[in-house]
Chains A and B, each alone.
Chain A
Amino acid sequence: MNLMRAGDVSGLPVVSIESGEDVAEVRDVVYDGEAHRLVGFTLNKRGFFAGRMKSVLGDDSVAAIGPDAVMIESASAIEEQGAGPEPLNHLGAARLVLGNRVLSADGSDLGEVVAVILSTGERPEAVGYELKSPSHADTSFVPISAQMALSAKNLIVPVEATQFIRGDLAGFGAAIASYRSDELEQQP
Chain B
Amino acid sequence: MSIETFEQVDGRRVIASDSADTIGHVKGFVLDSAGRQIEAIHVDGRGKHALVIDWATVTAFGPDAVMVPSESDRATVADDHQQSAVVGDVAMVGSRVLGVDGRGAGKVVDAEFDTKTGAIVRVITDEGPIDARRVSSLGSYALVVGLEEAPA
Contact = CB atoms under 8 A, between A and B. Distances in A.
Given A19-B33, A20-B33, A20-B35, A68 B98 contact: yes
Contacts of A63: 100
B102 A20 contact: no
B58 interface: no
What secondary structure prevails in chain B residues at the interface with A?
loop
Interface string A57-92: 000000111111111000000000000000000000
B32 to A, nearest CB: 11
A18 B33 CA distance: 8
A63 B90 CA distance: 23
B101 A15 contact: no
A69 B33 contact: no
Measured as residues with beta carbon below 8 angstroms from the partner, the interface class of chain B is 10 to 19
Contacts of B142: 15, 20, 22, 69
B28 interface: no
Interface in B128-152: 136-144
Contact of B144 (A12, A20, A65): A20
A66 B141 contact: no
Nearest to A122: B101
What secondary structure prevails in chain A residues at the interface with B?
loop
A66 B139 contact: no
B103 A20 contact: no
Interface residues of A, number: 22
B119 to A, nearest CB: 18
A183 interface: no
Given A16-B137, A21-B139, A64 B101 contact: yes
A17 interface: yes
A44 B55 CA distance: 38
Contacts of B35: 20
Contacts of B140: 20-22
A17 B101 contact: no
Most B CB contacts (10 A, CB to CB) among A63, A66, A120 go to A66
B124 to A, nearest CB: 18
B104 interface: yes
A20 B137 contact: yes
B99 interface: yes
